[in-house]
């Protein structure tokens, strides 16, 4: 019976973590460039037990005569490590020149491209959130103050508030080319580590992402005056939250039933009348 307590508790913990993941997705449904987390429930490795029986009133135990009758016991479930889904989000027009969005076109399956920005410590980070702005010095920055980098990994400074961004990422002021956005290519985005605020970095000891412009098999389009919305499906997320809540309640009732049974076993079974 104690095994039932552990199994139901594991189910409750898994559903609680799933609910936290879904709630975070829902909270970021309107965050530009946000990629929804996804996870799956997996069972712990099964325990394979072999029933034994006693023969000829001896103390020697041996497997049952064929066919053997194995017993498989699962000790519960856990929420596997969550990973963001890097699928393309819808583009929303804003009419603001500093808002940029990447539209994936010809991409290897499962790959994606990102804007390259600079952390305060000078290290590069990657984002799909193109809700940029110009600071007082005219540098193109993110909402959190990270500098947007060009193809030479230099900060992009724009002298005029009136500029044009070409589909290939080239920035024009009048007819003069100011810079070209450093659009980085990730062959497997699941290898990137989410840092918050829409930023990603390569895994420890992994190389920086390569420029997408250097890869002839990749094509993308920069859309000025647009931002990429999150890829959160709110209707599906609400449905999954309801399912997680009901599964949590079901496991809770199982624990209550076990608790009642244990109480009767302790207080009633074996009572001397």
DSSP secondary structure string for all residues of 65-130:
SSSP-EEEE---EEEPPPEE--PPPPEEE---TTBEEEEE-S--TT-EEEEEEE-TTS-EEEES--
Q: Is the pLDDT of residue 1 over 70?
A: no
Q: Is the pLDDT of residue 249 over 90?
A: yes
| Structure tokens belonging to residue 16 | 């609680």
Q: In this structure, what are the phi and psi dihedrals at residue 222, rounded to the nearest 5 degrees?
A: -95, 125
pLDDT at 47: 55
- Domain span including residue 253: 2-29+41-79+233-267
pLDDT at 83: 87
273 assigned to some structural domain? no
Q: Are residues 129 and 215 in the same domain?
A: yes
Q: Are residues 223 and 116 in the same domain?
A: yes
The mean pLDDT of the chain is 86
272 assigned to some structural domain? no
pLDDT at 207: 81
134-173 tens-digit pLDDT: 999 999 999 888 999 999 999 999 988 789 999 999 999 9
Q: Are residues 70 and 127 in the same domain?
A: no
Comparing 82-96, 113-127, 165-179, 257-271, the range with the smallest average pLDDT is 257-271
Comparing 92-96, 138-142, 145-149, 259-263, the range with the smallest average pLDDT is 259-263
Work out the average pLDDT over 253-272: 78
| Structure tokens belonging to residue 40 | 């799956």
pLDDT at 270: 59
Point out which residues pair with 93 in neighbouring strands.
Answer: 226
DSSP letter assigned to residue 192: S
Q: Is the pLDDT of residue 55 over 80?
A: no
pLDDT at 3: 72
Q: Is the pLDDT of residue 121 over 90?
A: no
Q: Are residues 104 and 132 in the same domain?
A: yes
Q: Are residues 101 and 222 in the same domain?
A: yes
Total structural domains in the chain? 2
Q: Are residues 219 and 257 in the same domain?
A: no
136 assigned to some structural domain? yes
Q: 247 or 46: whose pLDDT is higher?
A: 247
Comparing 30-34, 158-162, 269-273, the range with the smallest average pLDDT is 269-273
36 assigned to some structural domain? no
């Amino acid at each position: 019976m104690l095994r039932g307590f552990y199994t139901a508790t594991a189910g409750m913990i898994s559903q609680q973590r799933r609910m936290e993941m879904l709630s975070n997705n829902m909270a970021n449904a309107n965050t530009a460039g946000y990629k929804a987390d996804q996870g799956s429930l997996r069972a712990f490795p099964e325990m394979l037990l072999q029933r034994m029986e006693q023969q000829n009133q001896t103390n020697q135990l041996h497997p049952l005569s064929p066919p053997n009758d194995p017993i498989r016991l699962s000790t519960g479930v856990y929420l596997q490590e969550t990973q963001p889904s890097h699928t393309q989000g819808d583009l929303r027009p804003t009419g603001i020149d500093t808002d940029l969005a990447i539209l994936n076109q010809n991409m290897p399956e499962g790959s994606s491209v990102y804007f390259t920005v600079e952390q305060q410590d000078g290290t590069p980070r990657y984002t799909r959130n193109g809700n940029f702005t110009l600071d007082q010095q005219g540098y193109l920055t993110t909402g959190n103050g990270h500098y947007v980098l060009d193809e030479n990994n230099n900060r992009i400074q724009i002298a005029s508030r009136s500029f044009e961004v070409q589909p290939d990422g080239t920035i024009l002021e009048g007819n003069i080319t100011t810079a070209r956005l450093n659009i980085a290519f990730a062959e497997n985005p699941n290898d990137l580590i989410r840092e918050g605020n829409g930023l990603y970095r390569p895994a420890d000891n992994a190389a920086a992402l390569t420029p997408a412009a250097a890869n002839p098999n990749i094509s993308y389009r920069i859309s000025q005056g647009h931002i990429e919305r999150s890829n959160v499906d709110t209707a599906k997320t609400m449905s999954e939250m309801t399912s997680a809540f009901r599964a949590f309640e079901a496991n809770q009732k199982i624990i209550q039933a076990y608790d009642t049974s244990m109480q009767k076993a302790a207080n009633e079974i074996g009572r001397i009348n």
